[in-house]
Chain A
Amino acid sequence: MILIALVFGVFASWLLRNLAARAEGRVGPPLLQPVWDLIKLFRKGSVGDVSEVLPLLSLLFVLFATINLPSPNSWGGDLIVVLYSLTASSIFTAIAGFASSSPFSKIGSSRELQQTILAELLFIAASFSVVVAANSTSFQAIAFYNQNNFNPLLLLTFLMMLIACQAKLRKAPFDIPDANVEVAGGPATEFSGYVLGMYELTYLLELYCLPMLTAFLFFGVNYPAALMISVLIIFLFGIVAAITARFSVRSSAGLLFFTFLFSILVTTILYIGGRFYGTFI
């Protein structure tokens, strides 16, 4: 399960970097580049006063989310556990940045925290539109609902969910927390060696979790089809990241907040429709 997630994460990372390279007319890194990066980072020592526990906790939470997603032979755990673990992972990354002594990582962390909170609201609101429609938080019931019903309102929240995932993955135009030219390495500025390796590994697993979660929530599909949909979603993220510039902090916050309000509106309509009229539209 975790192995599939890692292989997918390496592939997704390669795809994102290569799409950016092709957009600039470059060749791009080889397929195994993320693996080499990780091997190197875990063989290097760590210097400086950084917390080793907080990036590890972040990694463990995202591992927990990976395990609780549906796997080839089971429907996994509950949606709420996955949402909670993914949020906890982002927040521990931000706290790890606050715990180190560089001013760059402090600014990066506060940006990360701000973006996490806004993106998380949107993420949860968009996920819960499906929960309200399917009237259940288990992945199996949601898949069953999606196989038997088609709800146009969920297409709207699917778009909102894509925006939330882009923001949680910190890809352009939402790469505010680790904008190289402004805040050096963002929360990871002070990380080196294996601590940075844990940070990169967390990111690889997030690259698996977020698109897979989207695929399971909005398409009533089995595991291999969800993997295919995730590749398409990553492809879309890569193209969007390659053709857009970075938002300012304020415009990103505004966009995330208004899409959140919109998702809440859709979820409320779904709830009222389901509750009082017995229909979801």
Chain B
Amino acid sequence: MRVARVSLFMAILAAAPATAQQVVGSVTIDSFRLANGLQVLYAEQHATPVVTVDLWYRVGARNERPKLSGFAHLFEHMMFQGSAHVGKAEHFKYVERAGGDENGSTHDDYTNYFETLPSNRLNLALWLEADRMRSLAVTQQNLENQRQAVEEEKRLRVDNQPYAGALRASLIWPYDSTNCFAYAHPGIGVMEDLDSAKLADVQAFHDTYYAPNNTTLVVAGDFKPADLKQLVTRYFSDIPSKPAPAAVTCNYKLSPGIVERVVADSHATLPAVIRVYRIPAAADGDTPALDLLNTILGQGESSRLNVEVVRRDTAAVNASSFSVNERRGPGSLLVLGIANQGVTAARLDTLLAAQVEAIRANGVTADELTRAKNQYRAGVIESRETTFGVAEAINYYSLLFPSVSDMNTDPQRYLAVTADDIKRVAAKYLDPANATVVTVNPAGKTQSGGDQ
């Protein structure tokens, strides 16, 4: 009797319709395109007098060629060094004086530049972005300064941080540089390529990729569409379009056979294991199930990895999983952990692999699935609370999905995932033959503490 009641309860829980509550609010997205190909997408939100301007240039590490690695990131730095009417390093001062925030970042498939400001400074953000798109100061001096800054950033964030180098290497080892150079080389670049970057190469990069027809401009927040159209037309319409850049392909095989690597890390004090599995691109039909699987397996304190490997087995300082799939080609799902003192990498890997196999063999519970969906929903809603979150989401769907309006239907796909879907994608993608297993061994002296 008791068993029946429990399973009945579980069945009800699993079947609890997502439609019973407001799933995720829809965002109304409008658009226009200039003759030079600049695509503008916008969403109004008048709750607070704030606006975000967010440009995604369709260029990233993916577009780099051998001997020119790290260019997209180097270029992102160059974009803050001044243009015809904006002095060197003045971009951020303009924004800060206006009470705003700004930044940019380089990714595999895109480079974004964004400002969030009080809504009465929309004109400023658009003017700044137009000036650097049309007249960036590509000079030898700027190149030198930013080359140094990028090399220093590599030293600070990658070379001198424990596990950072290993993690980046893990992301590229599943791919073959002959068939998929796009994802088989480090986005931060290698020192030799950065050292030998020439001004002509940088100028060519700008001319090819920083063109209006290769860009999506998104504006979200408190503004009037008529004002937006007038400003964009005024500032951007006479920037000439360029020939469409060459397409990039990534050819890879699913489950070609396990790949094993060992890395020595002189900054690490404990061994670590990183398992990387190839997964499809963001818009693929299997992505929602994979994302929820990722949550159940390794996100948060109640995840399998935390509860079993960290708390029960006390084998790891931390153990988690995460996906890298904001790209048009294949993505990666990582399962990783740092071993506790006295635990070998081999033992940790056995435990991590066992957690993966448990899901492949037995799936997940209805309760876990419901919780993962709730976490997904909360994450989407939180991102919609800010104009920056909305702008980034619009850009994401515009770049990676067949239509930007998929942004409003994607949540339903997540909420429709079943436990069988999770088991199926686990079986298909978390196959040992699809894994790259990286062992990180601490080596040599650790850095001495404290001083600058």
Real binding pair: no
